[in-house]
């Protein structure tokens, strides 16, 4: 055997033996005898010795049994995993097609393939010489989490590819949980007092991220393949051919259709929207892709989404139910929000029993009362909201819900600032509800990012008096925690490590984590880049603060009040005593050749593919100065949908105006 043949046989044996280990140790269902296993293992030992190259730690010759030690470590994708742009109307699909004709030319023949958009978890599966080596979640599109041990239990994914495939080959698709498996899982969870999942997607994601692969195996997950990454460029000539080949390899694929005109696309969309409730799995839209791969390459991508594909999302489902109570919820900054507690009802695949009524003005405008029949929907299939009351004209309705004059949690007085719709608890951090929300914000992904410090833990720590300020996060009494149900030794150890590893934090993240009123991520980034150090920010006067484009009088006042308040000074001092270090800001190198370098930019309107705060941060990283108002010093206005007075002013001043497409092109 030559070297290449030995390498190929080694990969095949490693994959086969890992599979047998999984069957034996995790599923308790061996497929071969011990003797047959020993013969394969001995062959692998001899070939690894003959190849005389370093042997990876996860080779079956180096491990005993099946230890899920690869769980959740970073895995870089061979080719980045792009996300899809969304459409919510026929007009957006017409524009989508028109852009293709403009780029390719008016005479180009375009065929689209339609695939149902599964509501699951995107996965990238990497094969070498036909053997499954690892699988990773989408992550940030460049790097995901390794879930190899768990992915082997998912139906619809072959462990080896017998056909002629590239030596290095990525297959992509969606892991999902069927409606039947979801119902069975939640029933089982209720019986044992475990976590009940909100919807099949959450259940699939939670099941795939289990440290114990046997738990994942018991959850009956499934998989649909829909794309390739590394090695896929010369594998097929079209999306329909690709899916056909993947299906022959043993991958599960969905029902698709080839469509040539917009009316056929609209009709297909309507057909599947009607079929949606009868399917055994959740879908939330229809994906339309240019079928021909050469045409896809010509169309290319913008930012992190391909130009040749779009997800036409289904409208939010509206359902009727009854309001059983209206309660008041206290947020991190003390805002008190009315919440409708309703008879639980299934909305777009999720059991909904609570929906926000936003503020007292909205409550009065919709005139929602206890006992009313109401229509609710999940906006974007995510946030439950009350659309309207159906009981407005009925007799014998309950009286309108009174607006609280004291906080429903701490009994402090309720106040309302002039010109604001919100009412607020004036109790500050003496209010446990505000403290709970502040702790959740403090440890969140965009703050200190402490893994394992979830909402339930934050609430319990406040309720039991173990955390009385955000600084106490770094001084937990782990001996007491160890006595709590569900807080085993491993969980305690992991939490200790997570907290310790986050004691060094970038200035921008630290500012955001403090939860200062009016300070979002973009403003926190601007403050860090301008002042460089925490001390400089603390010492800044109003004039210094107003030098920053993102900062107006209201933000400046909020910052100065926060750092001047004695209690806040004590909390910061305690944090530093507990070992927290705030790293000075290092201004990123700016590409002075970029079209936006040193330009003053204003953003207005709404965008479909990027959040405005995220766009602000990225623009600043490119060297642009992002201002909040249009003036004669503005160089460019980036206008999204429903751009208002800023757009009119820019037109009067003759300022360059660009749209979201240009913004995304600059950011890419």
Annotated catalytic residues are 117
H/E element holding 240?
helix 239-249
Locus of tokens 């920010």: 537
Using CA atoms in the order 114, 116, 118, 122, what is the torsion angle rounded to 10 degrees? -10
H/E element holding 98?
helix 90-104
b/e code 619-658 from CB counts within 10 Å (16+ = b):
bbbbbbbbbbebeeebebbbbbeebeebbebbeeeebebe
What is d(CA 157, CA 173) in angstroms, rounded to the nearest whole number? 10
| 645: CB partners within 8 A, 6+ apart | none
Within 365-455, strands assigned E span: 373-379, 383-389, 414-415, 423-425
Other Cβ atoms less than 10 A from the Cβ of 138: the count is 19
What is d(CA 143, CA 75) in angstroms, rounded to the nearest whole number? 5
b/e code 539-572 from CB counts within 10 Å (16+ = b):
ebeeeebeebbbbeeebbebbeebbeeeebeebb
Structure token pair of residue 150: 């768990």
Q: How far is CA 23 from CA 33, 44, 66, 281, in A?
A: 12, 19, 9, 27
| In contact, 208 and 223? CB cutoff 8 Å | no
Structure token pair of residue 482: 């160890």
Residue count of the chain, please give it: 668
DSSP 166: -
b/e code 251-265 from CB counts within 10 Å (16+ = b):
bbbbebeebeebeeb
579 alpha-carbon distance from chain centroid: 30
The count of C-alpha atoms lying within 13 angstroms of the C-alpha of 81, restricted to the half-sphere facing its C-beta, is 26
Per residue, the 3-state secondary structure of 483-537, as one string, reads CCCCCCHHHHHHHHHHHHHCCEEEHHHHHHHCCCCCCCHHHHHHHHHHHCCHHHH
Per residue, the 3-state secondary structure of 45-93, as one string, reads HHHHHHHCCCCCCCCCCCCCCCCCCCCCCEEECCCCCCCCEEECCHHHH
Q: Identify the CA nearest to 15 among candidates 172, 137, 142, 128.
A: 128
Burial of 52 (0-12, 13-18, 19+ CB in 10 A): exposed
Q: How far is CA 26 from CA 23, 66, 218, in A?
A: 6, 7, 10
Other Cβ atoms less than 10 A from the Cβ of 659: the count is 14
**β-strands 625-627, 636-639 pairing:** unpaired
| In contact, 308 and 361? CB cutoff 8 Å | no
Q: How far is CA 531 from CA 323, 370, 484, 563, 592, in A?
A: 50, 51, 43, 15, 22
């Amino acid at each position: 055997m030559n070297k290449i043949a030995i390498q190929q046989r080694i990969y095949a044996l490693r994959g086969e033996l890992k599979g047998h280990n999984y069957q034996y140790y995790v599923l308790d269902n061996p497929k071969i005898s011990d003797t047959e296993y020993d013969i394969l293992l001995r062959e692998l030992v001899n070939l690894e010795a003959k190849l005389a190259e370093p042997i990876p730690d996860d080779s079956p010759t180096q491990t005993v049994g099946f230890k899920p030690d690869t769980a959740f470590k970073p895995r870089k994708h061979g080719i980045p995993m792009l996300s899809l742009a969304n459409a919510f109307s026929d007009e957006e699909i017409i524009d989508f097609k028109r852009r293709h004709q403009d780029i390719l030319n008016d005479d180009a023949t375009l065929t689209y393939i339609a695939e149902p958009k599964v509501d699951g978890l995107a996965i990238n599966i990497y094969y070498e010489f036909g053997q499954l080596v690892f699988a990773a979640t989408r992550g940030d599109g460049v790097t995901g989490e390794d879930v190899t041990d768990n992915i082997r239990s998912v139906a619809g994914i072959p462990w080896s590819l017998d056909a002629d495939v590239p030596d290095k080959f990525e297959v992509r698709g969606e892991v999902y949980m069927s409606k039947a498996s979801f119902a069975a899982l939640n029933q089982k969870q209720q019986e044992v007092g475990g976590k009940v999942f909100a919807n099949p997607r959450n259940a699939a994601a939670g099941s795939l991220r289990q440290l114990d692969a046997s738990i994942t195996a018991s959850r009956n997950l499934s998989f649909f393949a829909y794309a390739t990454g590394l090695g896929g460029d010369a594998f097929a000539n079209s999306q329909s051919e690709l899916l056909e080949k993947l299906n022959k390899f043993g991958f599960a694929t969905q029902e698709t259709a080839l469509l040539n005109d917009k009316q056929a696309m609209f009709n297909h969309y309507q057909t599947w929207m009607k079929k949606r409730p009868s399917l055994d799995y959740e879908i939330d839209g229809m994906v339309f892709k240019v079928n021909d791969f050469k045409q896809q390459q010509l169309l290319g991508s913008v930012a992190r989404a391909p130009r040749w594909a779009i997800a036409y999302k289904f409208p939010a489902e509206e359902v009727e139910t009854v309001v059983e109570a209206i309660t008041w919820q206290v947020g991190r900054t003390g805002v008190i929000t009315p919440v409708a507690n309703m008879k639980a009802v299934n909305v777009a695949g999720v059991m909904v029993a609570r929906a926000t009524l936003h503020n007292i003005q909205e409550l009065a405008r919709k005139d929602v009362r206890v006992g009313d029949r109401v229509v609710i929907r999940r906006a974007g299939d995510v946030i439950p909201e009350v659309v309207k009351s159906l009981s407005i004209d009925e007799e014998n309705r309950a009286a309108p819900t009174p607006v609280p004059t004291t906080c429903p949690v701490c009994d402090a007085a309720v106040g309302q600032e002039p010109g604001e719709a919100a009412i607020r608890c004036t109790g500050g951090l003496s209010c446990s509800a505000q403290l709970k929300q502040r702790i959740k914000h403090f440890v969140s992904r965009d703050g200190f990012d402490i893994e394992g410090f979830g909402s339930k833990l934050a609430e319990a720590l406040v309720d039991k008096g173990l955390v009385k300020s955000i600084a106490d996060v770094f001084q937990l009494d782990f001996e007491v925690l160890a006595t709590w149900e569900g807080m085993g030794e491993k969980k305690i150890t992991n939490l200790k490590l997570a907290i310790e590893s986050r004691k060094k934090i970038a200035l921008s993240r630290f500012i955001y984590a403090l939860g200062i009123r009016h300070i979002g991520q973009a403003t926190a980034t601007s403050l860090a880049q301008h002042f460089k150090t925490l001390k400089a920010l603390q010492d800044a006067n109003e004039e210094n603060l107003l030098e920053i484009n993102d900062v107006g009088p209201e933000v400046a006042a909020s910052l100065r009040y926060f750092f001047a308040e004695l209690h806040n000074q004590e909390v910061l001092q305690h944090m530093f005593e507990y070992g927290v270090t705030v790293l000075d800001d290092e201004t990123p190198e700016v590409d002075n050749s970029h079209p936006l370098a040193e330009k003053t930019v204003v953003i207005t309107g709404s965008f479909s593919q990027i959040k405005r705060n995220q766009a602000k941060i990225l623009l600043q990283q490119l060297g642009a100065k992002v201002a909040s108002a249009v003036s004669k010093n503005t160089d460019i206005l980036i206008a999204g949908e429903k751009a208002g007075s800023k757009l009119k002013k820019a037109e009067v001043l003759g300022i360059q105006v660009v749209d979201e497409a240009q913004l995304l092109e600059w950011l890419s």
